[in-house]
Amino acid sequence: MGVMIEGVWHAEEPASGSADDGKYRRSVSAFRNWVTPDGAPGGEGCAGGFAAEAGRYHLYVALNCPWAHRTMIVRVLKGLEDVVSLDAVLPRRSAEGWIFAAPPEANSDSLLGSHALHKIYAAADTAFSGRVTVPVLWDKKRRTIVSNESSEIIRMLNSAFDDVGANGADLYPTELRGDIDRVNERVYRSVNNGVYRAGFARSQEAYEEAFDELFEALDMLEARLATRRYLCGDMPSEADWRLFPTLMRFDVAYFGAFKCNLRRIQDYPNLWGYVRELYQMQGIAATCDLDVYKQGYYSISELRNPLGIVPKGPAVDFSTPHGRRNVNDGIGQSAAVS
């Protein structure tokens, strides 16, 4: 996957010194500043000076990446398309990691003209060491990366830009934050990251542990959605939009490429109706591309797909009637999150 060491890109990663138990461990995001309405520091250890301004910030995403997808969704839901600009890298990584097409083609870097995402990391920090990941929130004024942590970027997009062009939708309402946080924690470990823990496992034991946790969590979510239309509250919240990208990719990518093959999302009546309803909400379908997901997840991998053959199927139609309008808003009646 490649890594940067002191500002220089290395296609081959150095050997890890961690214990080899076969378990996949996601790297910690390196840039953790916050955009706030007035530019005040957004939290402990955060630098100030990142004030919300129309046209100041730029998102770099990969259309096949679920972590980047959540930022694309919140950008649309908050009506920020003309406030925060966006570029997408190509879905297949190369020896230089995430790369762009040459301008003026689609998937080019319209802002800095870079050919690879690692150049943008180097522009932000000439001594940067670590993984080069998407999404990236870039500050055009200070010419640096604000954040590459998707969970924090979506919170910024949700709350910081209300006075500079965003609509009033609130995906993280105060009264639901405790419930949203509990759902997020379980969904992150067992579903969002769970598919990667299964797909990148290096031992049978690690794979089976992740596999079992994943399908236990999907069973829990299926039960929860039997009595409530959305995960938390009576409107889609951050919790729903953090789960949605994984569900969108599941049947066309994770089921086969990551061996998450006990059941498809289409085999869960409530989850299947739920993901179709979210997909059919205004602006969401335009953020989705099943063919791109397959190109990304079935790209050449020495361990998982050495020939890089991309499957033609399966056929998945998210546009059929979802049947969720009569589901009760059963607050407190659904499966507990543990």
The dotted CATH code for 3-159 is: 3.40.30.10
Q: How far apart are CA 253 and CA 293, in angstroms?
A: 7
Quick check: helix, strand or coil at residue 290? helix
Q: What is the pLDDT of residue 137?
A: 98
pTM greater than 0.85 (yes/no): yes
- 144-147 and 57-62 as β-strands: parallel, antiparallel, unpaired? unpaired
Q: How far apart are CA 206 and CA 198, in angstroms?
A: 7
Q: How far apart are CA 310 and CA 238, in angstroms?
A: 32
Please name the fold of domain 174-297: Glutathione S-transferase Yfyf (Class Pi); Chain A, domain 2 (1.20.1050)
HSE at residue 278, side-chain half, CA atoms within 13 A, is 29
Determine contact, residues 258/199, Cβ cutoff 8 Å: yes
Q: Is residue 60 among the annotated active site residues?
A: no
Give 15's pLDDT tier (boundaries 50, 70, 90). Answer: low
Q: Is residue 65 among the annotated active site residues?
A: yes
Quick check: helix, strand or coil at residue 205? helix
Rounded to the nearest integer, the mean pLDDT of the chain is 93
Q: What is the pLDDT of residue 6?
A: 94
Q: Determine the average pLDDT of the residues in 136-152.
A: 97
Q: Per the residue annotation, which of 57, 60, 65, 297 is the catalytic one?
A: 65
Q: Per the residue annotation, which of 60, 121, 196, 274 is the catalytic one?
A: 196
Question: What are 253-291's pLDDT values in tens digits?
Answer: 999 999 999 999 999 999 999 999 999 999 999 999 999
- Sequence spans of domains, the chain: 3-159, 174-297
Determine contact, residues 130/4, Cβ cutoff 8 Å: yes
pLDDT of residue 317 exceeding 80:
yes
Q: For the chain, first and last CA: distance in Å? A: 33
Q: How far apart are CA 41 and CA 236, in angstroms?
A: 29
Give 335's pLDDT tier (boundaries 50, 70, 90). Answer: low
Determine contact, residues 232/239, Cβ cutoff 8 Å: yes
Question: What are 226-239's pLDDT values in tens digits?
Answer: 999 999 999 999 99
Q: What is the pLDDT of residue 14?
A: 63
Percent of the chain with pLDDT over 70: 95
